[in-house]
């Protein structure tokens, strides 16, 4: 059986990937972790692997033959956004200056150098599109379109009046219902138990895989930290807007 893990940023995905590698063996895990890497591989090459894990377009994996177990993990939408933001700030702060100014790190640089208001509401158009694709109701647009940049794809249809938000939400819920499992970050014990069951392995205890965990800033302190950086009530309302559809999805699984 093929295993497909649809990794949404900041949902313990690095820990899950580490558990998958440990349980199944690195040689059967597809090395493509993002779409750009996946696109370089032929269908024949992809079908050599048993496990797929990463920030991947679900639709791009339709060519994988045979039975599949497909799963994902969700997190409280506001908590996911704030965790993502502060994670990027930490990553940017630890990069050498010359690397931080490279084009591929524009998102990291923006998180570090822009004010929270600029980061979540302003910035140049190309940067705004990139950030909105990752923050604006990501669950809804990703699962409705089955593409990581689904927001950009579906907004064109919405602007032409061919889709509305309720359509997107309906599509996302319907597609989520096709997954074998939708876990939440609050029941990671079940995730690791499932990996052990599918792989017939005893490997993969929760405490063994704490990857990219922000130990310097707890979830309870993120809003306070955002305010210290200049975030105000208007900004928090903006973030709430980013979660309007995703909260309805979260309510189904939390």
Q: Mind listing the pLDDT tens digit for each residue in 176-203?
A: 999 999 999 999 999 999 999 999 876 5
Could you tell me what percent of the chain has a pLDDT over 70? 93
What is the structure's pLDDT at 250?
Answer: 98
Assign 64 a pLDDT band (cuts: 50, 70, 90).
very high
Helices assigned H by DSSP within the chain:
13-24, 35-38, 43-46, 77-93, 97-100, 106-113, 116-121, 125-135, 138-145, 150-159, 165-176, 188-199, 222-228, 233-242, 244-253
Q: How many residues does the chain have?
A: 254
Q: Mind listing the pLDDT tens digit for each residue in 38-63?
A: 999 999 999 999 999 999 999 999 99
What is the structure's pLDDT at 207?
Answer: 46
User: Distance between CA 183 and CA 74 in Å, rounded?
Assistant: 6
What mean pLDDT is predicted for residues 220-244?
Answer: 91
Assign 206 a pLDDT band (cuts: 50, 70, 90).
very low
What mean pLDDT is predicted for residues 149-154?
Answer: 92
């Amino acid at each position: 059986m093929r295993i497909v893990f649809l990794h949404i940023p900041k949902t313990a995905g690095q820990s899950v990937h580490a558990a998958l590698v440990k349980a199944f063996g690195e040689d059967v895990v597809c090395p493509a972790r993002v779409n750009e890497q996946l696109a370089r591989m032929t269908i024949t090459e992809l079908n050599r692997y048993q496990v797929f894990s990463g920030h991947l377009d679900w639709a791009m994996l339709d060519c994988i033959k045979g039975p599949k177990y497909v799963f994902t993990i969700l997190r409280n939408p506001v908590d996911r956004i704030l965790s993502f933001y502060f994670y990027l700030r930490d990553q940017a702060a630890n990069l050498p200056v010359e690397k931080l100014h490279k084009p591929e790190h524009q998102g990291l640089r923006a998180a570090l150098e822009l004010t929270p208001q600029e980061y979540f509401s302003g910035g140049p158009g190309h940067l705004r599109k990139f950030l909105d694709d990752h923050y604006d109701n990501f669950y809804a647009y990703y699962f409705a379109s089955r593409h990581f940049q689904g927001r950009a794809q579906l907004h064109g249809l919405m602007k032409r009046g061919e889709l509305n938000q309720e359509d997107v939400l309906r599509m996302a819920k319907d597609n989520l219902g096709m997954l074998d499992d939708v876990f939440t970050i609050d029941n990671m014990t079940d995730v690791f138990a499932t990996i052990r069951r599918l792989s017939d392995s005893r490997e993969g205890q929760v405490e063994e895989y704490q990857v990219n965990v922000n130990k310097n800033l707890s979830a309870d302190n993120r809003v306070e930290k955002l305010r210290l950086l200049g975030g105000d009530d208007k900004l928090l309302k903006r973030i709430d807007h980013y979660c309007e559809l995703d909260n309805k999805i979260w309510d189904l699984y939390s």
